[in-house]
């Protein structure tokens, strides 16, 4: 076992990179009035591949990062990402942990839950809530298509980062290459 275990830092760093790239895409798409949300993908690797402690640290830091910049009440993203993480931890013994196909399905379902939960929490503040649901549906559709495309890349990126530091993501033991 290592004295310092960087698994949480690698997962959080990858989440930070993804958050930055999606922010760039949202900035580019601002003229189209489309907003991409990939919150479900922030939780998948930490919940399915990392141990409980390191996964929780990565998810909590990611939730705090999102709360710091998104227009939601502070702690909302932290609570929702933590809820998704806890749900996935509860059932992960029954899931195939490796593989991009299952990771994509989990990311799509988690993102669907997060968008619906955030919508119900925040749509009441909209002056025209009926028209907001059509916009939310369009954003959700665009986000789900994006997730379907980038999930295999993002999971492979995190696996490759773990390989570069020669550490097994689930056990934290050194991997001989």
pLDDT tens digit sequence for 85-108: 999 988 878 877 777 788 899 999
pLDDT at 20: 95
pLDDT at 13: 94
CATH number of 7-164: 1.10.1760
pLDDT at 163: 87
pLDDT at 37: 93
Two tokens, residue 18: 């993804």
Instruction: Return the bridge partners of 167, or none.
Output: 174
pLDDT at 1: 46
Q: Is residue 88 classed exposed, middle or buried when 0-12, 13-18 and 19+ CB atoms within 10 A define those classes? A: buried
- The whole-number average pLDDT for the span 118-145 is 82
**For 38, how many CA atoms within 13 A lie in the half-sphere containing its CB?**
24
Q: Distance between CA 118 and CA 103 in Å, rounded?
A: 22
- Selection from 167, 65, 67 nearest residue 177 by Cα: 167
Is there a contact between 143 and 38 (Cβ–Cβ < 8 Å)? yes
Is there a contact between 115 and 133 (Cβ–Cβ < 8 Å)? no
pTM: 0.88
- The whole-number average pLDDT for the span 148-177 is 84
As a whole number, the mean pLDDT across the chain is 87
Domain ranges of the chain: 7-164
Residue 77 has pLDDT above 60, yes or no: yes
- The whole-number average pLDDT for the span 122-139 is 76
């Amino acid at each position: 076992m290592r004295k310092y275990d960087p698994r949480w830092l690698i997962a959080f760093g990858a989440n930070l990179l993804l958050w930055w790239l999606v922010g760039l895409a949202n900035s580019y798409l601002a003229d189209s009035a489309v907003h991409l949300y990939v919150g479900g993908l922030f939780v998948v690797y930490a919940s399915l591949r990392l141990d409980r402690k390191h996964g929780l640290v990565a998810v909590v830091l990611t939730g705090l990062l999102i709360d710091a910049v998104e227009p939601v009440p502070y702690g909302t993203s932290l609570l929702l990402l933590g809820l998704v993480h806890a749900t996935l931890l509860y059932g992960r013994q029954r899931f195939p942990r490796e593989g991009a196909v299952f990771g994509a399905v989990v990311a799509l379902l988690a993102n669907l839950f997060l968008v619906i939960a955030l919508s119900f929490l925040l749509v009441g503040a909209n002056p025209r809530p009926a028209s907001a649901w059509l916009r939310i549906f369009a954003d959700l559709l665009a986000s789900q298509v994006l997730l379907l495309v980038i999930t295999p890349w993002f999971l492979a990126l995190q696996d490759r980062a773990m390989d570069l530091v020669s550490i097994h993501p689930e056990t934290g033991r050194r991997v001989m290459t």
